[in-house]
Structure 1
Amino acid sequence: MSVSTPTQEDFEELLLSCRYGDVEDIQQFVDKFGPDALAIARDDNGNTALHMVAGNGHTDALDYLLPLLPPSLLAARNNAGSTPLHWAALNSHLPAAQKLVQFPGGPGVDLIDIKNSAGRSPLGEAETVGWEEGAKWFVQVMNLDEGGGKEEEGELEPAEGADNIEVEIQDAEGQVAKITLGQKPSGGAGESKQST
């Protein structure tokens, strides 16, 4: 079976389908051009199909695309140096962010450390837009050199004997996120705070 070569217009239509989460149209593109064509599709700003679906929180489209694409595309950067995870964080899409980080065979939690041209990681983007839920999740699953925790099945567990572990992470602009891991503090409503 030979597949035809997509035109620029075909790529534009694919990326628009990804932007709007139209899985049926994405499947038609793959049926016509094959899965390899998905990996080379980029818009004028260097955004891939994964940027479009992750940035718009289309988890059904992510579920379809991830097994078809090379795992290296999870870390693909657009012209601004942002990965699909940056876009998921910027637009506060936790299920999409989780699928990107947890995809078997992909870069995993290392995606959280990639900085864009503005010097921000996906965690930094989450902090910039005030997305506390996402920032907290990133901190819970990311590789931490200190703190005594261990990562196991996507969750960070406190070291033996530690009730709470407070982690501070400073982004490129000097913003500090403080997050307490472990048991929830008694009487405290806020789980993460930003201060300058």
Structure 2
Amino acid sequence: MAPSTDEQEEFLLSCRYGDLDDVKQFVDQFGVAAAGAVHDDNGNTALHMLCGNGHADILDYLLPILPPALLSAKNSAESTPLHWAALNSHMDVVKRLVEFPGGPGIDLIDIKNAAGRSPLAEAELAGWDEGAQWLVQMMKLDVEGGVKEGEADEPTDAEDADASQLAAEGIEIEIEDADGQMAKMRIGGQQP
């Protein structure tokens, strides 16, 4: 039996407002496939709703049972659940989405919405420095002079000294901000 329109709307509201018992009841009654297929008129899925509102407990319940493709599902504004979590400064949710085994992983950070903004840009636009810094740290950056995968088995004394200096001073990188301007960010070390 398929859920009615009203039952689907109630499921999305349960995700939005953090009612884990109602979410479980929907999944028990209609199945995982129905839960994964529900979306509103703007294309928002259950993950959009719960990620935008920071409901990590519901995310922990649904992530292992929903198709991993829902992690990168776009709504009508082409925003993913990670865009919503970053825009609303929900660190626990952001980490769970990016680090979920079997999901898209760090590739989620590069997805741009219709406004041309990535989840990182949404975090910056919201003024959420902690989240923006975490997302930058998760990205695969090629730091000049850094060791790439498959290079150098044992660090030399000079490399150890360089690593110690980097740990103390950090790395300053430039990234494109939400407005298309270049912004500087320091990873690690003492903040200026």
Q: 2:93 aligns with which of 93, 96, 100?
A: 96
- Unaligned 5+ segments in structure 1 are 152-158, 189-196
**Aligned twin of 2:180:** 174
Distance verdict in 2 for CA 1:149–1:136, change over 3 Å: farther
Shift of 1:165: 1.3
Structure-to-structure mapping, 1:119-158, within 5 angstroms: 119-147=116-144, 148=146
> What CA distance in whole angstroms lies between the structure 2 residues aligned with 1:150 and 1:177?
25
Post-superposition Cα deviations, 1:5-61, rounded to whole Å, max 9, x if no partner, equal 111111100000000011100000011001111111000110000000100000001
Query: Of 103, 108, 128, which aligns to 1:106?
Result: 103
Q: Percent identity?
A: 62
Residues 116-156 of structure 1 deviation map (CA, whole Å, 9 limit, x = unaligned): 000000000011111101100000101224443779xxxxx
Deviations along 1:138-190, one digit per CA (max 9) or x if unpaired, are 00101224443779xxxxxxx851412111111352233322123224xx3xx
Higher helix share: 2
CA distance in 2, matches of 1:25, 1:14: 7
Equivalent residues in 2 for 1:29-40, closer than 5 Å:
29-40=26-37
Report the Cα distance in structure 2 between the residues aligned to 1:127 and 1:46, rounded to whole angstroms.
24
1:72 aligned partner = 69
Query: Larger radius of gyration, structure 1 or 2?
Result: 2
Q: CA RMSD in A?
A: 1.8
- 2:180, 2:2 → 1: CA distance? 47
Return the letter of the residue paired with 1:182: G
Q: Work out which of the residue numbers 165, 179, 184 in structure 1 matches 2:171.
A: 165
| AA in 1 matched with 2:51 | A
Instruction: Tell me the CA shift for residue 81 of structure 1.
Output: 0.3
Cross-structure match for 1:6: 3
The total of aligned residue pairs comes to: 176
Normalising to structure 2: TM-score of the pair? 0.86
TM-score, length of structure 1 as denominator length: 0.84
In 1, the alpha carbon distance for the partners of 2:119 and 2:178 equals 12
Higher strand share: 1
- Are 1:22 and 2:13 counterparts? no
Which of the residues 100, 115, 120 maps onto 1:118? Answer: 115
Distance 1:62 1:149 in 2: 35
